[in-house]
């Protein structure tokens, strides 16, 4: 799946080869936010048909800054040094905005987590991204 999705996007969308390390941490967080939400929504949809409003609430509970910060803390010890460095770059990035329902600490941690997700995605490391999200959901008691 990894190879086909990324390679097909590159082929059909005529994308240039770019080193993910060359992107700013906020750009990594931008794409990471979308990719992480897609993974969470996929997990929720896989549970079966239900009202869309219920699915939205379930997804929102897992993609909010507080939940992302919690997931990072649960995963931190199992990350590689390279992954931690990407997270720190994202966490320390100066953003002009802040989530309206999050503490500054949670917001910055979530930005770091999203940067890590974006970096893994752009690096073609979808297996590692899925592994981390799965492990985080299990540790949060959400992997049902």
| Chain centre to alpha carbon of residue 61 | 14
Who contacts 75 (Cβ-Cβ below 8 Å, separation ≥6)?
Answer: 132, 135, 136, 139
Catalytic entry in 19, 33, 106, 127: 33
Give the integer Cα–Cα distance in Å for 32 and 121: 7
Cβ–Cβ < 8 Å for 20, 116: no
Clarify whether 127 is annotated catalytic.
no
Catalytically active residues, by annotation: 33
């Amino acid at each position: 799946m990894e190879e086909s999705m990324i390679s097909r996007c590159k082929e059909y969308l005529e994308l240039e080869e770019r080193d993910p390390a060359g992107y700013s941490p906020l750009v990594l967080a931008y794409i990471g936010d979308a990719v992480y939400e897609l993974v969470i929504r996929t997990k929720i949809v896989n549970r079966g048909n239900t009202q869309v409003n219920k699915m939205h609430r379930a997804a929102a509970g897992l993609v909010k800054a507080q939940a992302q910060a919690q997931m990072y803390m649960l995963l931190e010890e199992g990350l590689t040094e390279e992954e931690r460095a990407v997270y720190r770059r994202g966490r320390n990035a100066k953003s002009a905005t802040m989530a309206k329902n999050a503490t500054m600490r949670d917001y910055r941690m979530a930005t770091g987590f999203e940067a890590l997700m974006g970096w893994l995605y752009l690096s073609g490391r979808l297996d590692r991204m899925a592994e981390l999200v799965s492990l985080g959901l299990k540790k949060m008691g959400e992997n049902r």
